[in-house]
Structure 1
Amino acid sequence: MVAENPYADQTTTNTSTPWLAGGPAVDVDLDGLREYARLMRSQQADIGSRAAYLGPLSEMPGQAWNGDVLGEADAVRAQLTANAGELNIYLSKLGESLSNVGNAAQTIADSYRSGDALSAAKLSDVLFAFGDKSVRRPAGLPEGVGTTYLEAQMATGAAPPPADSPLWQQGPVTPVSAYQTMQLATGPNGERREIMTFTAPGGAVTTTTTVYDRTGATVSTSTTRVSSRVDGPVQTTTQETLGPDGKTASTTETRTTTQGDRVVEETTETVDSTGRTTHLTTEKLDPVTRETTTTTYEPGKSGLLEETNEVQTGTRTSGADAPHYVNG
């Protein structure tokens, strides 16, 4: 059942447009519109800077209920995290709206800067300023103005940046479920990157990264699955990279051995889809001399692993005795 509008008469008056046709001419304050546009952009920047301080709202629920918890606690954690994500999205859209209003005000000011604002002001010009392509372009608008940002970027034909490029504008991490999150990012030319992360309770973390071009077509898709296990003093972390067909393209396994609170050996090995080792790095610490030896192996011409580099650091040396002088 739809609730009745208690202000039906006022809504009808405010949303009907015939009153625009018979009223007095609209006085467009060009200087005021330009200042208004500047203030809108300033408010957008202010919202963006203040939103950065809301990070703890997304982090605290996970810190308060960490790991495997009761179902009720997990539900509260998911709800609080989702609320924080929605607040971030709201602030982002609010800043975007302020920018749109400011750009529209600037467009209207540009439309009338060389004409008679009192006689030329029309509602269609305002609609055009807000991106409505169904109305005619204002006669006084300069030729270099009127193309939207997205239209200008789509005309360049630039390729999307790599998935790990710093050019992506990161969006907030939004919970999809208790174990799944999504993060969207926008590229410099209207592209879109989508990162879906699924964390199984006590299990692997699967991350799928998809890059779309400005038309919405898929450019690339990659999936990684990270899992770990502990066998006594050895912790093994395995990262699998899956291809578009879902098959394993490469696997990187890191084995870390500890003695007490000290790491004494770490081995990282990468193998391809056929099981062939393509890279191997070992790092060993001598507990007596505190010398660390890092050795790198890669396949040689014969296909067998060959040592390509070795670095030794942190060797403990005994200091020389201080000079001894005899009076004489």
Structure 2
Amino acid sequence: MSQRVCISLDAMGGDYGPSTVVPGAALARERHPETTFLIFGDEAVVAPLVAAEPRLKGGVEIRHTTYAVAMDDKPSQAVRQGRGKSSMWKAIQAVKDGEADAAVSAGNTGALMAMSKICLKTMAGIERPAIACLWPTVRGESVVLDVGATIGTDAEHLIEMAVMGSAMARIVFDLERPTVGLLNVGTEEMKGNEAVKEAARLLREIDLPNFAYHGFVEGNDLGHGTVDVVVTEGFTGNIALKTAEGTAKQIGTYLRSAMTRTLSAKIGALFARQAFRALREKMNPSRANGGVFLGLEGIVIKSHGSENAQGFAAAVDLAHDMARHDLMRTIREMLDQTPTLAPA
């Protein structure tokens, strides 16, 4: 029998709120029938949507709240005004109180991180949390972090992220010893800033049993899937993520334009429609939606605010996997085996 997993959902977050969250939860529950949900939001809006989804029958408890964090709220403002009463805070609080195994929100990223840090606190041995995402590659997928939690870094924080990213990769990819690379401006040892070079030196010396340090990787290695885990600081990681998303949309626009330009192109597109469908699915950002907040005393997943139900379901799937396979225990075990990070 599958282990039961309860996930708390911020129904009021994101661009579309409950109209995306509820059907997304239903799609995810179809794949994971043992999953139950605590849904925080306006009951007058949420309840009819839940009632219209047979897949959610017997698996949902609605917790009423009308206060929602706006997408353009500053984190400090969101915490000050929404602490204790917003759908976002209550979803996180459910994890802290042990009512839920993970929380998912499509709301304001800065507010979600600020509330998560205040409510859940950071893990012992972790200086700062990071946001990790699944990155589509020609080999499959890689874990990339940090993609926007904090700006600036030092060697110790890079090593912390290598440990946490490897823990996530072990669960998601079912790997005993994932490979880890530090994102840099070149693969030569003398290149990069002092933090990156010092982290590389320490990772070579430590030689941890739970992941294999590959060395430096460059921007083009992200798409190649050269390593299972790519580590960088939040400023660079967020730019890389947004650039990749924009490039995918740009290529899609070019293809659509080229395939409809002439009659022969339209005929060719007709014959190649299966190939284009496969390409579109491979490049569909909804498939890999969901950023994992690593380094907190609890599991929080950030969904893109503009995602549809399919994309939100992917974030719920990720939350399910992280909870089902005990991400927190895996990270703690790996931290304990890391000499420079082991709690005093």
**Normalising TM by the smaller chain, what interval?**
under 0.3
Is the radius of gyration larger for structure 1 or structure 2? 1
Q: Which has the higher contact order (CA 8 A, sep 6+)?
A: 2
The structure whose residues are more often strand, as a share, is 1
The structure whose residues are more often helix, as a share, is 2
